Amino acid sequence: MFVITGPTASGKTAKAVALARAIDAEIISADSRQLYRGMDLGTGKDLEEYGEVPYYLIDICPAGYKYNLYEYLRDYREARALIDSRGKEIVLCGGTGLYVESVLNGVQLPPVPRNEELRGRLAGKSLDELTALLKQYKTLRNNSDIDTPARATRALEIALYYHENPHLASLTHPHPITDAIVIGTAIDRDTRRARITSRLRARLDAGMVDEVRALLANGISPDDLIYYGLEYKFLTLYVLGKLTYDEMFTQLETAIHQFAKRQMTWFRGMERRGHPIHWLPYDMSDDDFVAAALALRNRKL
């Protein structure tokens, strides 16, 4: 299996599609927000890039739903089994490091139910208070669990469940993937920042504000959109009149730059934790990228 990952705005999808075409593979997404229907511009789905290449785990949930890692791993296994049954190769593509690393580690998780009593006790607590509580149960590798109070509350719910049910550790028999070739799209910081800004302007021009208005008009609550962070957080605040357009753009641009930095921190951590990433230039031609990927596989065989 090939894994194509990297920070936002580094051209992962195009490279994954080129590789999939070359080896007759199908793509499984590893993006935690492209799962949601109707959230297209804000998550950068760019579905036209896939062409005839089949893809999975995109547009599988309604907007407003709170998808989690347990569900992702379950759905990944189902997609992989389907692709395997057709005798096709797999390219896992996405920048959600938690998803990518969990797949590589062969993690299996039991479902964690909602704890209404806990949620009631946590209601009204600030994000800082929730973060302090969460640190009592787990080491925070990045900020993905504490972007919003809702995320932090769910993370606490999960952490407490495992704390109260230590026997579950024996039920999660991991089966690490040892033959995966992980490739990162390498892009220097200044170029990445420029591409992020350019892409943000393009998506706003393409109607990203109207996308958020449509989601709200279809009954998605503002809090649910803010839960998803980044574009949906700041555009919702703009639509609600809590930010001016310039404030929205500046704060969102900064948040995306910070997000890309956190992604790179995660990838460096992956490498330290035993998952080597072969970094190839983001601006390689598709042909050169495919040739380099196949050469990496040949050396591994």
Which token pair is 140?
Answer: 């925070």
Are residues 95 and 5 in contact, defined by beta-carbon separation less than 8 angstroms? yes
**pLDDT one-digit tens code per residue, 33-59:** 999 999 999 999 999 999 999 999 999
pLDDT of 151: 80
Higher pLDDT, 220 or 145: 220
Gap between the Cα atoms of 170 and 283, Å rounded: 45
Q: Which fold has domain 2-109+172-300?
A: Rossmann fold (3.40.50)
Q: What sign results for the dihedral spanned by CA atoms 81, 82, 84, 90? A: negative
- Decide if 264 contacts 193 (C-beta within 8 A): no
Which among 116, 108, 101 has a CA at the least distance from the CA of 266? 101
At residue 68, the pLDDT reads 86
Residue 160 is predicted with a pLDDT of 87
8/263 Cα distance (integer angstroms): 8
Minimal CA–CA distance to 130: which of 154, 149, 157? 149
* pLDDT value for 145: 55
**What is the share, in percent, of the chain residues with pLDDT greater than 70?**
94
* Alpha helices in 123-244, H assignment, sequence order: 127-134, 149-164, 189-205, 208-217, 222-227, 230-239
In the chain, where are the structural domains located?
Answer: 2-109+172-300, 123-171
pLDDT in tens, 56-98: 999 999 999 988 888 999 999 999 999 999 999 999 999 999 9
Instruction: Please give the pLDDT value at position 144.
Output: 54
Beta bridge partners of 26: 90
Report d(CA 276, CA 143) in Å as an integer. Answer: 23
Q: What is the mean pLDDT of the chain?
A: 92
Taking residues 5-25, report their average pLDDT.
Answer: 97
Alpha-helical segments (H) within 40-114: 69-85, 97-105
Question: pTM of the predicted model, to two decimals?
Answer: 0.84
Residue 287 in tokens: 């042909």
Q: Which residue has the tokens 């109207």?
A: 210
pLDDT band at 233 (very low <50, low <70, confident <90, very high): very high
DSSP label of 184: E
* Residue among 265, 295, 266 at smallest CA distance from 278: 295
Question: From CA 27, how far away is CA 2, in angstroms rounded?
Answer: 10
148 in Cβ contact with 122 (< 8 Å)? no
